[in-house]
Amino acid sequence: MIECNLNIRLGNFMLDTNFSIPDKGITVIFGASGSGKTTLLRTIAGLEKTVSGFLKIGDEVWQDGVDFVPPHQRSVGYVFQEQGLFNHLDVRGNLDYGIKRSSAIEEVFRDSILNLLDIKPLFNRAIEELSGGEKQRVSIARALLIKPNILLMDEPLSSLDLKRKEEILPYLDALHDELDIPLIYVTHSPDEVSRLADYLILIDNGKVIGSGKIEDMLTRFDLPISHGVGATSIIEANIVGRDENYELMHLDFSGEIFVVADNRSAIGQTIRLRISARDVSLTKERQSNTSILNIFKAVVDDVVPEGKSQVMIRLKIKDSIILSCITLKSAEMLNIKIGSKVYAQIKSVALLS
């Protein structure tokens, strides 16, 4: 458990936070530029000193208003947004720097990190020779090799172009699966949020406006994130079968079956699905003779206005929650209200990881 109750004052900037996050999985801190997310991350690492408040990681209290554990004594791995490597050392030197200053690390562990991030081919390269993506991979490897209790990443992809981002995302996915320490990941990209977050903390103008599991956070109507054209929901599903003839796979969530294009993943694997609210339409009766394969029985959990002409609806499909955005007119025509039984038609879905 990570408990964080901090009051940060930096010049004119103030950030008050009070949240706890799970000590496993990826927690994403999401907000606009300037909202304070990087400052919060730096504070957790101990890099900002003008802070009062309470910070506890697991059993260790890193600050409590009286004592302050300096950064070099905190068990953190930190990946900076840019300029995160030592220019006066090569890749090996960078990796060794952390290793030398941590307690003995087993060979096996080191090897697994180096393999996970494909670092071995880069060993003797000078830092200037690396691409942006390679630099970030080395940064991540270096941070992990010291076996920290917590990994912090400050917008690691934002200084990369699209191609390099694509290159490195699979490594982050792999990290997600393999990591047994918490990762706190700062970003302003909704894409990264939906792809990586297990837990979400929303920051706006120096305040934490919400924190919780990603599926819940995305569908909370009191948060701005569930409104606008970017409104999405997330469902985790398992691959349970294939349709070889049509290159399709069957994914199970809460007992329902999703049909999607086959991406050659193994049976049994968990896949995260992102469903845009605009891609979910509603019918009162089950449609037949329709091109949409994914139609599910759902119950309306909540309805709120969305702009002048639309409404946002939260639907429950068994245990899972998704959002649907339709016109006000349709909603009235179909007499949509809390408790209404409908069929949700999901036109397209994005497969993440």
To another protein, the closest distance from the beta carbon of 8 in angstroms equals 16
To another protein, the closest distance from the beta carbon of 313 in angstroms equals 45
88 binds another protein (CB under 8 A): yes
Token pair for 95: 């990796």
For residue 202, the cross-strand partners are: 30, 210
To another protein, the closest distance from the beta carbon of 330 in angstroms equals 53
Contact stretch for another protein (CB under 8 A) within 40-48, 116-124, 159-167, 298-306: 40-48
Contact stretch for another protein (CB under 8 A) within 42-50, 159-167, 319-327, 334-342: 42-50
142 binds another protein (CB under 8 A): yes
For residue 183, the cross-strand partners are: 26, 151
Query: Which residue is associated with the tokens 């096996």?
Result: 108
CA dihedral (236, 237, 239, 242) positive or negative = negative
50 binds another protein (CB under 8 A): no
Contact stretch for another protein (CB under 8 A) within 11-19, 141-149, 250-258, 345-353: 141-149
CB contact set of 304 (below 8 Å; sequence gap of 6+): 221, 311, 312
Token pair for 134: 């390679």
Task: Write out the DSSP string of 129-141.
Answer: GS-HHHHHHHHHH
- Among 30, 80, 253, 258, which residue sits at the site for another protein (rule: CB under 8 A)? 80
To another protein, the closest distance from the beta carbon of 108 in angstroms equals 21
Give the number of residues in contact with another protein, rule: CB under 8 A. 24
Q: Which is nearer to another protein, 35 or 139 (CB)?
A: 139
Burial category of 111 from C-beta neighbours within 10 Å (exposed 0-12, middle 13-18, buried 19 and up): exposed
